[in-house]
Structure 1
Amino acid sequence: MIALKIVHLNTYDGNGGAGRACLRLSDALNAIGVDSKVLVYYQFGNNPNIINLSKSPFAKAKAVFNIMAERYLSKAFAKAVKTPFSLQWFGKSVVKNKLVKEADVIHIHWVNHGFLNPKFLAELADLEKPIVWTFHDSNAFTGGCHVRYSCENFHRQCGNCPLLKMSGPKDISHQTWKRKQKAYSQVNFHVVAPSHWMAQSVKESSLLGLRKISVIPNTIEVDVFKPYVKSEAKKILKIAPEKFVIMSGFMPSKNDKHKGTQFLVDALFELSRRPEIPKDQIELVIFGNKDEENVPKFPFKTTFLGTINKDEHLAKCYAAADAFITPSLEDNLPNTVMESLACATPVIAFTTGGIPDMVKHLQNGYLAKYEDASDLADGIEWLFLHEQKEEVQKEARRSILTHFSPTVVAEQHLAVYLKLLDDMPK
């Protein structure tokens, strides 16, 4: 056992990619002997290892109010687009919490939706402890948006926000930027970027460009997300063993710009028109929430799995696929890509965000040109016609074990914690 106490702060308990990444890191740290605990603002599940800040009926009611207020007030100011925007007007103080006070290091993760707004973030400076903050999206260094696309206003002081109904030099995004600037000037924290793309984005930001940054990826349970015999995995999904299975990790919506659904649809239709691709040998499998009103039409036989709550079953679904496709237009270090590779299923994706940190072109998958549906189709065709698919599959698994396994990632974080503690005034 290492004499070190870490407390992780996250709004939710595994609800979303950041929550999953937070819990996985805490488990990995505990496995190497670090005393690591997760403190959440609102708990959906019943994991006894997670400490819930909103246990009492009153605290829970207040948390629900804060969460809903943040979400719906943001919609009142933002345009009707699928890009999340946070006002961060509501919040919850944690400086008097016993776990936070006793921790040697405070590790912040995703704290929007009414949890740590700039005011309560600045309070953490009073504890005089090392603070680490993992950026699971771009919100920490923007005036409100979580996904930036091509907007470069965060290089300056935001304002003129393309997401707001009332946009101008002094709009809400600029006001939020100013509030963050004031808070950040009071509290020192070390940034962890899960991808090189995120690290570069932080360096380009006007809010945090001079902060120290460590690039450390998220991790995954390699003993859960692991390879299975593909023919047997396909039988579980009632798919013929000889079928080439294309999987996508969300229920596509025609209106969801961030997920790049239309590029997936266009790529599949182009693939179906290619003479070297026999349509009857391909089947599309999609898991995630169903949106019956916005389901696109696909050219191949499609199976919708719905939401999968058990990781063991999800791993077998990945293993049943011959290719996993993610047409995401901006993503930090998507869990679905890591999960697929861990199950020895190659990934085909656009060259964007942190995906190139995981997918190595023509080695464990295919990196298509950004927003190029034809190249996405080329990637599927490349894998479909590949004479040594097993080698690509083995490399997919090997790449995760080498760079993203729990022990590797936990030890990298431990090194950061110890360095920060050693640098503290004696």
Structure 2
Amino acid sequence: MVLHLSTFHLEGGAGVAATRLHRALQKSGTESRMLVPSSQNPEENVVALAENSWELKKAWGRFVAERLYFFPHEKDKTVRFAFSPAGIGTDISNHPLVRQADILHLHWINFGFLSLSSLDKLFSLGKPVVWTLHDMWTVTGGCHYSRGCDRYLSHCQYCPYLAKPGQYDISFSQFETKKGIYEKTKMALISPSNWLDQIVKNAALTQDIFSKSIPNCIDTGLFAPSDKTLIRKKLHLPTDKKLILFAGANTQDPRKGFSYFKDSLKRLPDEVEVLVLGKANPAVFDSFPAPVHYLGKITRQEDMADAYNAADMIVVPSLEDNLPNTIMEAMACGTPAVGFATGGIPEMIDHKHNGYVSEFKSADSLAEGINWVLNNNNHALFSAHAREKVLDSYSESVIAAQYQNLYQSLLSE
């Protein structure tokens, strides 16, 4: 039995990706279970540690305590959720599912779910561990994305996220603790993108651990093309405009590149309007150079598919990203993508074949890419290519098979 460990069930990119893999493995015949701190969406074979209101409060308390633990160290509030000290967590080493598992499969486990001490106890069980990395935290002294810092290549210290960086700061101590933990069991580090896999292979903490790239997967039956005009009428959107989608978990997060997207709109024709999906303050759209249709935060995947199908393209101007679910979801619906040449984005978008890869941090290049797709998607050719890429590279059966082979090799060794 494979046990997936994830802070989130169906929230955030990492939680969604973990759940999709769990479901794909079940469809492919693997006995799979998932253990999460809490869940708002009951699902068979997904077990929440918090089964009542008191335990939910305790889970929330661990999240708050973990943030308070970091508060004295943070440089400023912009890095508050960008660094996880992993000082607070819960011990699940004696949980029945952990004891029954043949493989422990970790995903994103921060924010009070698993601390460094929790990981130490899990790894000390000696069970094979597969860890799917959804950001850089596994290879660093605490940051989720390094923002250009390369100290993780030798040893984290003098961390730029900290108010008082030093030779023996908390990034140094976390780095040292992780080094000791990682030596305790057989482990495979899996990166959804080749970009992140290269980081893993070069990082001092992980360069001697087996690693490879296996993409996230998606249900291509749920995320599939549908009639654009009918969807727009259903969502009360204009049928005679070109609609560009920006889908970010939080438009206020600088890493999502929302400012570059806004700037690029000044260079687009009048027929272009914007769809925004995710957490945002609607007031920020008042000064937009193009009309905005704000769809809010959508959680139902069926509604997400409708949003992708309503758009002529998706724009993902992330400054750091692994393998964005939004690009995969849009392309599965036959919606071409435009994004910066960073992280795993160029692995997903084949330049001028199913979308456009723009010059990093260039609003001009982003606008050029948007215009290029608008002007050249004749007979929906890019749309067909986008769908084809997902079917070939990210479908459930394709990805489940790669993980099944990995599990078997770990167990046979």
TM-score, normalising length from structure 2? 0.95
- Asked if residue 175 in structure 1 is aligned to residue 173 in structure 2, the reply is yes
d(CA) in 2 for partners of 1:389, 1:353:
30
SS in 1 for 2:279: coil
Q: Distance in 2 between matches of 1:107 and 1:415?
A: 14
Q: Give the Cα separation in 2 of the matches to 1:116 and 1:296.
A: 41
Q: What is the one-letter code of the residue matched to 2:72?
A: A
Counterpart Cα distance in 1 of 2:98 and 2:186: 16
Aligned-pair distance for 1:68?
1.1
Q: Which amino acid aligns with 1:263?
A: Y
Partner of 1:216: 214
Query: Given the alignment, which residue of 3, 27, 30 partners 2:23?
Result: 27
User: 1:263 — aligned with what?
Assistant: 260
Which piece of structure 1 moves more, 285-294 or 358-367?
A: 285-294
Aligned partner (choices 87, 90, 115) of residue 88 of structure 2: 90
1:49 and 2:45 are equivalent in the alignment: yes
AA partner of residue 298 (structure 1): F
**One-letter amino acid matched to 2:334:** A
Q: How far apart are the structure 2 equivalents of 1:209 and 1:15?
A: 30
What is the alpha-carbon distance in structure 2 between the residues aligned to residue 137 and residue 229 of structure 1?
Answer: 35
Name the amino acid aligned to 1:70: E
Indicate conservation of the 8 Å contact 2:277/2:295, yes or no.
yes
* Equivalent position of 2:280 in the other structure: 290
Which shifted more, 323-332 or 82-91?
A: 82-91
Deviation at residue 49 of structure 1 after TM alignment? 3.3
From 43, 54, 60, give the equivalent of 1:64.
60
Equivalent position of 2:72 in the other structure:
76
Structure 2 SS opposite 1:86: coil
Correspondence 1:368 to 2:358: yes
- Aligned-partner residue type, residue 71 of structure 1: R
Alignment partners' CA distance in 2, 1:30 and 1:161: 41
* Comparing 25-34 and 83-92, the one that deviates more: 83-92
Is the 8 Å Cα contact of residues 12 and 44 (structure 1) preserved in structure 2? no
Is 1:406 the equivalent of 2:403?
Answer: no
Letter in 2 for 1:130: P
Q: Percent identity?
A: 35
Paired residues for 1:3-18 under 5 Å? 5-18=1-14
Verify the 8 A CA contact 2:123 2:182 in the aligned structure 1. no
What is the DSSP-based 3-state SS (H/G/I as helix, E as strand, rest coil) of the residue aligned with 1:308?
coil
Partner residue in 2 for 1:306:
296
Q: Report the alpha carbon displacement of residue 92 of structure 1 after superposing the two structures with TM.
A: 1.4
Alpha carbons 1:82, 1:258 under 8 Å: kept: no
Structure 1 position 227, deviation (Å): 0.3
Whole-angstrom distance in 2 between the partners of 1:251 and 1:190: 29
Whole-Å separation in 2 of the counterparts to 1:211 and 1:297: 49
> Post-superposition shift, 1:407?
0.4
Q: Deviations over 1:203-238 (max 9, x none)?
A: 121111111112100011111111012222222222
Deviation at 1:292, TM superposition (A): 4.2
Q: Within 1, Cα distance between the matches of 2:92 and 2:37?
A: 10
TM superposition shift of 1:173 = 1.1
Q: Secondary structure at the match of 1:366?
A: strand
Unaligned runs of 5+ in 1: none
Give yes or no for contact 1:7–1:36 (8 Å, CA) kept in 2: yes
Label 1:340 to 1:417 Cα distance change in 2 as closer, same or farther (>3 A): same
Match of 2:241 in 1: 243
| TM-score, normalised by the number of residues in structure 1 | 0.93
Q: Using the TM superposition, give the Cα deviation of residue 387 of structure 1 relative to its aligned residue in structure 2, in angstroms.
A: 5.3
SS state at 1:396 partner: helix
- What's the CA shift for 1:48? 4.1
**C-alpha contact 2:12 2:249 (8 A) present in aligned 1:** no
Deviation >4 Å, runs of 4+: 292-296
Match of 2:326 in 1: 336
Alpha-carbon distance in structure 2 between the residues aligned to 1:298 and 1:204: 42
Which secondary structure state, in structure 2, belongs to the residue aligned with residue 17 of structure 1?
helix
Q: Which residue of 2 aligns with 1:356?
A: 346
Instruction: Tell me, yes or no, if the aligned pair for 2:282 and 2:294 is still in contact at 8 Å.
Output: no
Q: Is the 8 A contact 2:215 2:394 kept in 1?
A: yes
What code does the residue aligned with 2:242 have? F
For 1:342 and 1:26, the matched residues in 2 are separated by 19
Encode CA deviations 1:74-110: one digit per residue, 9 max, x unaligned: 2332122534111111121222111111111110111
Q: How far 1:389 sits from its partner (Å)? A: 5.0
SS in 2 for 1:288: strand
Q: Is the contact made by 1:342 and 1:400 (CA closer than 8 Å) also made in structure 2? A: yes
**1:252–1:31 distance in 2 versus 1, CA, 3 Å:** closer
Report the Cα offset of residue 71 of structure 1.
Answer: 2.3
Contact 1:265 1:296 (8 Å CA) reproduced: no
Taking structure 1 as reference, are residues 386 and 81 closer, same or farther at Cα in structure 2, changes over 3 Å only? Answer: farther
Corresponding residue SS for 1:77? coil
Q: How many Å separate the matches in 2 of 1:151 and 1:193?
A: 20
What is the letter of the counterpart of residue 33 of structure 1? G
Find the aligned partners of 2:323 and 2:329 in 1 and give their Cα distance.
Answer: 11
Q: In 1, Cα distance between the equivalents of 2:102 and 2:156?
A: 35
Aligned partners of 1:72 and 1:246: how far apart in 2?
Answer: 39
> Matched residue pairs, number?
411
Structure 1 residue corresponding to 2:194, chosen from 164, 175, 196? 196
Matching of residue 187 in structure 1 with residue 185 in structure 2: yes
Distance 2:55 2:377 in 1: 59
